[in-house]
Amino acid sequence: MTNQPKQRLLGVDTGGTFTDLVLVDGPRVRTYKLPSTPDDPSRAVLEGVRFLLGEEQALIFHGSTVATNALLEGKGAPVALVTTEGFGDILHIGRQHRSQLYALHPVARPTLVSRDCVVEVRERVQADGTVAEPLEDAEIHRVVTRVLASGCTSVAICLLHAYANPAHEQRLQHALQQAGLLVSASHLVLPEYREFERASTTAVNAAVSPVMGRYLQHLQQGLQGRTLRIMQSNGGAIHAQTAGSEAVRTILSGPAAGMIGAFVTARNAGFERIITFDMGGTSTDVGLCDREVPVTSETLLAGWPVKVPMIDIHTVGAGGGSIARIDAGGALRVGPQSAGADPGPVCYGSGCEVTVTDANLYLGRLLPDRFLGGRMQLAEERCRQAVERLARRAGLPARRLAEGVLEVAEATMAGALRVVSVAKGHDPREFTLLPFGGAGGLHVCSLADTLGILQALIPAHPGLLSAVGLVLADVIRDYSISVLCSGETSAVTLQALFAPLENRARCDMATEGVPGDALQLERALDMRYRGQSFELTIPLQDNFRAAFHQRYQSLYGFHDQQRELEIVTLRLRAVGRGPRPDLSSGIDRAGSPQPVATGRVVWKGDEAKWPVYHRGDLSSGSVLHGPALIVEDTATHVLAPNWRAQVDTQGNLILQRGQV
């Protein structure tokens, strides 16, 4: 990839409401946004590809929600679980955590593997990798027969301590594959200790990989031989064939691309401490980058632990399509239910329930004839009638109801921003808020005011930033192995323990098209004080023990240098640097910006005429003072009273709050 910087690059991000595309062709950047097709996401993807590429070739990067939706909606493939005798209930027992501690009728976690599809195997491997009970050929034959009889076509294998010795899993994997079954083996998916998390992650992969594989196969047929790479949850891209068999690594594909796009854009503009705020049609994703993109391996999705590296993102059900309703007690609720792409908000022409987008239109913060650059006319009268109907039910003036919808949605989003900042010891006032997504700019000033943030950055192409992040992505593969050894282990021994991971990484990355001289290997250790249950990830360096104590002190306010350390897991990240295209807007216009229209906007109960500026008319150094609306093809931005916006040399809008 690094030796093809001038190749056409196309980023395609599929969301719940819209599908976004960004084509980078040398210095030229073209964009396209169209409604998603939830019944078959590939239809919108292929339509966008045809519009931007025609018959031309390009390297395509895709952020997909297919694996996410399959897990959240319970539409994954039926899975059989093969596990060590005596551990058949591992997914049903879990950690025995009660998430609803005082609920008289708690909601059960959705079933990932039905009990009659669990096959126990007579074998046993000890924690040190020694075989206590061998796996016999007759037992393998019995397991294959039982799995075939279950009717499941996808199998998750998770044998006790397979991370220490995978021999038994490998034999079962080979036999099941020979029988024509799709197999996810824990020693490949997650070779780490903690049986429940390993079994859960492997079972999730077995459930979503067939769905993802079929989708990608169909998509590649429509792409007519073009190279397709898929964004992973860790912020790196991999070949579509790999993603089809390791779909668990794509669960947060789209949001991860958005974080990469936001971080790279902010860093290029001189901002390295940012809070990202991605507001789309269905949900809002937030994250905090303190000079680096945060990665975690502790994620819970649909009630199931998914212990693969993911960019640390917090999601709430508040988006432009979030539905407003009056509950049984007469209170106004907004979300998490969404109108999505079909039927969509009332103002899109088909929906019948008031959404956040409808409230923005009713209050004049969206212009009906300038949505999507004028390609989509909003149904203003239809929206007005729906808002007024809901207002009568609530016993409120229509304007107050519409502002209330936005206030409730913004309260949910502000809570999410506090989760990634205040709750983790960060002062949001020390960060720059970076909104993107189609609706982010409509709420940035209000949210910044709520959290005391003084500055915001609205990037170029904000409604398409996840697609931008896709073409900026590196090729990344993550590897791990649990070793459970002393913290005093020598550097020579650690190097020997890392060697198998590094050999596998070099082989896999060569398959991904990354040459050896372009490969970067990043080593890290999961460490803890011996006897503890959880670990901290520390980069492998000469003074990694001191770094652990320092990190522990910063998180918990104390450390103990006399206490014995333990290295639990080795982690290796293989990185092949991506093409790094220049996506700056290259503004060379001059002159003072002039309004293209005026709009009647309701703000805090008062209606007034606000000037409307088109972002394409703004030159570098231009300064706007609120109140004003700024429109562009993929988004609309509200510049609130007491805020000012200035255009930097890269086309970003830098918003600053004045003195109150």
Predicted confidence (pLDDT) per residue in 496-554, tens digit: 999 999 999 999 999 988 888 889 999 999 999 999 988 999 999 889 999 999 999 98
**Residue 2 confidence class, pLDDT cut points 50, 70, 90:** very low
Spatial contact of 285 and 314, defined as CB atoms under 8 Å apart: yes
Higher pLDDT, 146 or 473: 146
- Copy the structure tokens of residue 93: 């027992």
For the chain, give the mean pLDDT. Answer: 91
**Residue 39 confidence class, pLDDT cut points 50, 70, 90:** confident
CA distance 321 to 345: 6
- Copy the structure tokens of residue 620: 């570098």
- Break the chain into its structural domains and give their ranges: 9-71+213-250, 75-206, 474-576
What pLDDT does 180 receive? Answer: 95
H/E stretch holding 79 reads strand 79-84
Strand pairing report for 474-486 and 236-239: parallel
What value does the mean pLDDT take over residues 192-218? 95
In this structure, which long-range contacts are made by residues 551-560, counting pairs with CB atoms below 8 Å and at least 24 apart in sequence?
A: 555/425, 560/529
What pLDDT does 588 receive? Answer: 53
What pLDDT does 521 receive? Answer: 96
Higher pLDDT, 267 or 72: 267
What pLDDT does 584 receive? Answer: 62
- Copy the structure tokens of residue 532: 């503890």
CA distance 637 to 629: 6
**Residue 592 confidence class, pLDDT cut points 50, 70, 90:** confident
Q: Give the least confident one: 69-83, 425-439, 570-584, 616-630.
A: 570-584
**Residue 583 confidence class, pLDDT cut points 50, 70, 90:** low
**Residue 124 confidence class, pLDDT cut points 50, 70, 90:** very high
What pLDDT does 591 receive? Answer: 63
Q: Is the pLDDT of residue 338 over 90?
A: no
CA distance 481 to 500: 10
Q: Is the pLDDT of residue 303 over 50?
A: yes
**Residue 590 confidence class, pLDDT cut points 50, 70, 90:** low
Second CATH level (architecture) for the domain 75-206: 3-Layer(aba) Sandwich (3.40)
CA 329 to chain CA mean position, Å: 35
Q: Is the pLDDT of residue 660 over 50?
A: no
Q: Is the pLDDT of residue 56 over 50?
A: yes
Q: Is the pLDDT of residue 373 over 90?
A: no
Span 606-637, pLDDT tens digits: 999 999 999 988 988 899 998 999 999 889 99
What pLDDT does 1 receive? Answer: 45
What pLDDT does 11 receive? Answer: 94
What pLDDT does 262 receive? Answer: 95
Burial 232-267 (b: 16+ CB within 10 A, else e): bbbbbbbbbebbbbbbbbbbbbbbbbbbbbbbbbbe
What pLDDT does 587 receive? Answer: 52
Span 378-426, pLDDT tens digits: 999 999 999 999 999 999 999 999 999 999 999 999 999 999 999 988 9
The percentage of residues in the chain with a pLDDT greater than 90, rounded to a whole number, is: 71
**Residue 4 confidence class, pLDDT cut points 50, 70, 90:** very low
What value does the mean pLDDT take over residues 443-451? 97
What Å distances lie between residue 57 and 54, 76, 180, 223, 286, CA to CA?
Answer: 9, 33, 35, 9, 34
Query: Domain 9-71+213-250 class?
Result: alpha beta
CA distance 295 to 164: 25
Spatial contact of 514 and 473, defined as CB atoms under 8 Å apart: no
Highest mean predicted confidence (pLDDT) among 40-44, 94-98, 406-410: 406-410
What value does the mean pLDDT take over residues 157-169? 96
Spatial contact of 599 and 512, defined as CB atoms under 8 Å apart: no
